[in-house]
Amino acid sequence: MVDGNVYRVLARHEGISTPIDSSPGAKEFALTAHQRLDKSRPALYNQAIMDLGAIICKPASPMCAQCPVADTCAALATGQVDSLPVKQQRPKTSERFLTFVCVTSPAGLYLMQKRGVGDIYRGLYQFPMWESDTPLSAPEVEKRLPPGRVTLIKSGVRHRLTHRLLHIDFYECLLDSPTCPIGGRWMTAAEVESCALPRPMEQVWAKLQSRNFATSKEMANFARADIKRKTQT
């Protein structure tokens, strides 16, 4: 591994402009360090170049006039001492707020939408979703939905992408009627299970199915108890 001081000395002395925090840069600096290594006294050489970077070839206000290799320094000759070494410009992380709603018909079907090309989660199926700069309140969510019973399933889910931090809320809407103006495709639970879903939605879907299974089991137990009671009377 190349020390930070060594990166700086090599970048300036050799005039290397490849970013030190990139994969090509790591390979180039490792190769250069190996080529410049004094094979007869490797430990002494390594300590000397680290000391040179720490004491003389400093990040700010380097002491070029006192540098023992100033005569062969490419950065000093080309006026690039202050601009080397180079680091990648990392894009800022943006924050977005997503609101997913599991819309369920009276027949127990689920409304699903497929993400288009160029979107996050492209090609995956999802519940109807709204993306916003600030979180949507429960009343705002209800206004965007047809009549039905709306409940919050889970809020404050954080999902980090490369340059985005997503804050996600999940709601459920049990429709009063089978008509729904929101576009999408109605699916059975089995069909949803066969779809590729965004990772944050997979956990919520599993939670919904677990709850539905528990409810179905409870109803079945109630029905059996009711039948048993009637046969005993």
Q: Residue-wise pLDDT tens for the chain (233 aa)?
A: 578 899 999 999 999 999 998 899 999 999 999 998 888 999 999 999 999 999 999 999 999 999 999 999 999 999 999 999 999 877 777 889 999 999 999 999 999 999 876 666 778 999 999 999 999 999 999 999 999 999 999 999 998 887 788 999 999 999 999 888 898 999 999 999 999 998 888 888 888 887 754 444 443 343 444 445 556 65
Within a domain: 220: no
Report d(CA 184, CA 175) in Å as an integer. 15
- Domain with 133 in it: 94-210
pLDDT at 231: 65
Q: Which of 83, 102, 135 delimits the end of a domain?
A: 83
Burial of 176 (0-12, 13-18, 19+ CB in 10 A): exposed
Domain annotation covers residue 215? no
Residue with tokens 């999802």: 126
Residue 129 pairs with which residues in a beta bridge? 100
End-to-end Cα separation, the chain, in angstroms: 83
On whether both 65 and 142 belong to a single domain, the answer is no
**Euclidean distance between CA atoms 133 and 173, whole angstroms:** 23
Asked if residue 225 belongs to a domain, the reply is no
Residue at 131 is within a domain? yes
One domain for residues 134 and 44: no
Q: Is residue 115 a part of any domain in this protein?
A: yes
Question: Based on the domain organization, do 37 and 107 belong to the same domain?
Answer: no
Is residue 224 domain-resident?
Answer: no
Q: In terms of domains, do 205 and 132 share one?
A: yes
Q: Please, where are the H alpha helices in 37-163?
A: 42-51, 74-78, 138-143
pTM of the model: 0.56
74/112 same-domain check: no
> Angle 37-40-44 (CA atoms, 0-180°, nearest 5)?
65
The answer as to whether 66 is a domain residue is yes
List the structure tokens of 98.
């997503």
How far apart CA 96 and CA 160 sit, in angstroms, is 10
- Work out how many domains the chain is built from and give that number: 2
Look up residue 84 and give its DSSP letter: -
